[in-house]
Amino acid sequence: MNDFQPVTKPGLKVPQFGPGPVPNHVAIVMDGNGRWANARGLTRVEGHKAGEVALLDVVAGAIEAGVKYLTVFAFSTENWKRSPEEVRFLMGYNIEVLRRRRDQLNHWGVRVRWAGRRPKLWGSVIRELESAEKLTAKNSTLTLTMCVNYGSRIELLDAINAISKDVADAKLKPGSISEKTLGKYLNSGFLPDVDLFLRSSGEQRISNFLLWQSAYAELSFVDTPWPDFDRKELWKSILDFTTRSRRFGAAVDKPVKNKRAN
Ligand code: IPE
Ligand code: IPE
Ligand code: MG
């Protein structure tokens, strides 16, 4: 057991965040692997391989910062459009990473969960995700949700279809669907609202990730490609987050003193 890496890294201290609270839920679009690799004369899969260490470091940094939910986009329902070689690699790679890292994550007290669709996803990937979920089910330091074969629009459509069926079967009353009801039908329904939505690699888009939970998320777009990402990058975004004023539609009237327009 003592060959596991500790959460902390020698010489690296969590900054003093504030004045606001640390985000409870950070969602990350781990983007830029392919461009990182191609820029170095390597093939795209080498970029994916380089992203594993970044993920582990970010999980550790999230634990240190006091984040309770970390949700990462590993494979989207749109990523099937990529070459068969890349798709095959990513499927196998998800299995390998889970196998290689689940004991370390378990040792850190991380609860691993999966959000995504079953159809099309390799059975071997589902089995690996479910076995990591089972192994870590009792952990509570941080919940790491792996979004594999995940897409928000299809997730919402699946939920709407399931709800309409339950309405037809008289299990639900028409007109009674609340935010809570819909939440129960989403495969990511166990997740709380996203506080900080982070994307690496300079792209400034959502790409169909956690649309429902990110309605009031603070957005952070960081230029660093995912393979170069680490806990320090995460902390920078968290620090910025803790200085923002979240209003959720409300407003405070506070004219600056001694500044009267005439
Ligand atoms: C993100 O990196 C990882 C996955 C989508 C699986 P990309 O593979 O999208 O890398 P870029 O954006 O093409 O550089
Ligand atoms: C989003 O990144 C999906 C993952 C990181 C898994 P993409 O690279 O697939 O998104 P687009 O195509 O740039 O929008
Ligand atoms: Mg990309």
Distance CA 223, CA 200 (A): 6
**pLDDT digit string (tens) for 201-241?**
999 999 999 999 999 999 999 999 999 999 999 999 999 99
Distance CA 230, CA 55 (A): 8
Distance CA 37, CA 107 (A): 31
CB of residue 34 inside a 6 A radius of ligand 1: yes
In the reported structure, the alpha carbon of residue 7 is separated from the centroid of ligand 1 by a whole-number distance in angstroms of 27
Among protein residues, the one whose CA lies closest to atom 14 of ligand 2: 207
Contact 232, 12 (CB under 8 A): yes
Sheet of 110-115: strand order equals: 110-115, 142-150, 69-76, 25-29, 196-199, 218-221
Residues catalogued as catalytic: 31, 79
Distances (CA, A) of 213 to 56, 86, 184, 220: 24, 29, 13, 16
* Backbone torsions φ then ψ of 227, nearest 5 degrees: -60, -25
CB of residue 203 inside a 6 A radius of ligand 2: yes
pTM: 0.97
Q: 220 in helix, strand or coil? A: strand
Distance CA 92, CA 107 (A): 24
Q: What was the pLDDT predicted at 258?
A: 87
Q: For ligand 1, what atom is nearest to the CA of residue 35?
A: 14
Residues with CB under 5 A from ligand 3 (ion): 31
**pLDDT digit string (tens) for 100-145?**
999 999 999 999 999 999 999 999 999 999 999 999 999 999 999 9
Q: What was the pLDDT predicted at 3?
A: 82
Q: Look at the block and give the residue holding tokens 């099309």.
A: 120
Q: Which ligand is nearest to the CA of 75?
A: 2
CB of residue 128 inside a 6 A radius of ligand 1: no
Q: For ligand 2, what atom is nearest to the CA of residue 74?
A: 6
